[in-house]
A and B are shown apart, each in its own frame.
Chain A
Amino acid sequence: MPWRLLRFGLSKSHPEPRMFTTHDKLKPSYDVVIIGGGGHGLASAYYLARDHGITNVAVLEKGYIGGGNTGRNTTIIRSNYLTPEGVKFYDRSVQLWQDLSEEFDLNLFYSTRGHFTLAHTDSALRTMRWRAEVNKHYGIASEVVGPEEVKRATPQMDLSCGGHAPIMGALYHAPGAVARHDAVAWGYGRGADMRGVEIHQQTAVTGIELRAGKVVGVHTTRGFIATNKVICAVAGFTPRITDMVGIRTPIYVHPLQAMVSEPMKPWLDSILVSGSLHIYVSQSARGELVMGASLDPYEVQSTRSTLDFPEGLSAHLLDMFPFLSHVKVVRQWAGMADMTPDFAPIMGKTAIDGFYLDAGWGTWGFKATPVCGKTMAWTVANDCPHELITGFSLDRFRNYSLTGEKGAASVGH
């Protein structure tokens, strides 16, 4: 368990130091520049420093740490995906999550809850069985259960969902968990900072300098930096960065909205997902219901939110839990989801020497934060894609060899 709080309580010097060092100036050059100070970028910096001894690294963040999709997701962590590539990759991530609080000495509120993906139709149940078999083959706790098990875990639920979408069964994934998302960015950031990585907030990248197909530097709002290696981990901003180096990608950006209710006493242990009702919901450590739905229906590259979203989501939530009709929604927000046609990410090397992509994280990126950091750091240190990410290369769209993850990636696709 993290001892930091106890030590803090007994300490005579308050307050404790800030999480990161603020650097007045950028250095003229770095071995690696990471664009994007979200979980993925900071985790990449952390593992570059910790596992590969590469510490002359700058993380450039145009806003503030963890202010993008790292702090905008609904914090669900699971590994019950559909493709062998996805299952192996996310399983490694779930393993890495287990030790993070201890490693960071920072409580991430990692809480294993059990995850139900509800099936309201025969075809949904068929996909659940398929997923369960792929999952079991790779040693992941995943099974199809009947409505009675759903009822046992969540007795408050109307299993008929208002009479129009009765629950026929569910895919149950016992390791399904939630965590405190912004703390993940802080934990990785502090760990990287302690090992010599520089984190520069309020520093936007305005251009990338290439020479003979190789990265030679990065232009920023605070000046030019020479570097031969750039990791781009900017989620919904990815097309703006890839345009700077002239790389075409299949990424399209739609907002993904989420909202939370007012806090309640704990009543919902499990994480519930329904593709048919376009909803996922869990109860946070603060007692709020954290809720998400499907993507906004058309392309927008901003984080505006709409009234249609809480209206639609609330209606579906009340189908499942009519007793929530007097509960208030207290916040809603949006993130920019960088979607791919096959619902798998785009990771690794690109046609530009020294330009590495960690993108296409759409609606499924938070759970992958540790394994992305780990595999991207390995990929950059060895200039060769890590074995867990070979199925996610950008080349697959040139070669018509997609990694079809649609049936397991999210809801409502």
Chain B
Amino acid sequence: MKLMTCPINGTRPISEFAYWGEIRPVPDADTCSDAQWADYVFNRNGAPGVKKEWWCHTPSNTWFIAERDTEKDKVLRTWLHGDDK
């Protein structure tokens, strides 16, 4: 069973979690060009690597950040938004 560690609820089966994609900076909608906005809306970093991603522990609706190697499918660490500063 694949495991994921929720920063609040601890280690749980990964089926309890929902994946919400890589964390990406949002361009300022008022000042950016259409092309920049299209790049933000559609384009993704599809190559493998160690990525910071949004995950949610669905039974408790806990949103957090996971750092994961997307080629080896290995979770390196998880933390709540704001705790990384």
* Residues of chain A at the chain B interface (Cβ within 8 Å): 238-240, 243, 248-253, 297-302, 304, 306-308, 338, 341, 397-400
Chain A residues, CB < 8 A from B42: 250, 341, 397
* Category for how many chain B residues contact A: 20 to 34
> Is B73 touching A252 in the complex (CB atoms < 8 A)?
no
How many Å lie between the Cα of A238 and that of B47 in the bound state? 8
> Is A239 touching B46 in the complex (CB atoms < 8 A)?
yes
> Is A301 touching B48 in the complex (CB atoms < 8 A)?
yes
Nearest A residue to B55, CB-CB: A298
Chain B residues, CB < 8 A from A248: 39, 43
Excluding A252-B46, A302-B48, A304-B73, 19 further A-B contacts by CB distance (< 8 Å) are A239-B44, A248-B43, A249-B46, A250-B43, A253-B48, A297-B19, A298-B19, A299-B19, A299-B22, A299-B70, A301-B47, A301-B48, A301-B71, A307-B1, A308-B2, A308-B15, A338-B46, A398-B35, A398-B38
Also in contact, A249 and B43, with CB within 8 A (given A301-B70, A302-B73, A398-B38): yes
The A-contacting residues of B in range 1-23, CB under 8 angstroms, are 1-2, 15, 18-19, 21-22
Kindly provide the distance from the CB of B74 to the nearest chain A CB, expressed in whole angstroms.
Answer: 10
Nearest A residue to B47, CB-CB: A239
Nearest B residue to A251, CB-CB: B46
Chain B residues, CB < 8 A from A238: 46
A-B contact pairs, 14 of them (CB 8 A): A239-B46, A240-B47, A249-B44, A250-B42, A251-B44, A252-B21, A252-B46, A253-B48, A298-B19, A299-B19, A301-B70, A302-B48, A302-B71, A306-B2
How many Å lie between the Cα of A307 and that of B34 in the bound state? 44
Kindly provide the distance from the CB of A70 to the nearest chain B CB, expressed in whole angstroms.
Answer: 20
Chain B residues, CB < 8 A from A398: 35, 38
> Is A240 touching B48 in the complex (CB atoms < 8 A)?
yes
Judge whether B31 is part of the interface by a CB distance below 8 angstroms. no
How many Å lie between the Cα of A3 and that of B59 in the bound state? 61
Judge whether B61 is part of the interface by a CB distance below 8 angstroms. no
Q: Top 8 closest A-B pairs, CB basis? A: A239-B46, A298-B19, A301-B48, A397-B42, A239-B47, A250-B42, A248-B43, A251-B46
Chain A residues, CB < 8 A from B34: 400
Judge whether B72 is part of the interface by a CB distance below 8 angstroms. yes
How many Å lie between the Cα of A300 and that of B18 in the bound state? 14
How many Å lie between the Cα of A250 and that of B46 in the bound state? 8
Nearest A residue to B37, CB-CB: A400
Chain A residues, CB < 8 A from B21: 252, 299
Nearest A residue to B72, CB-CB: A302
Kindly provide the distance from the CB of A400 to the nearest chain B CB, expressed in whole angstroms.
Answer: 6
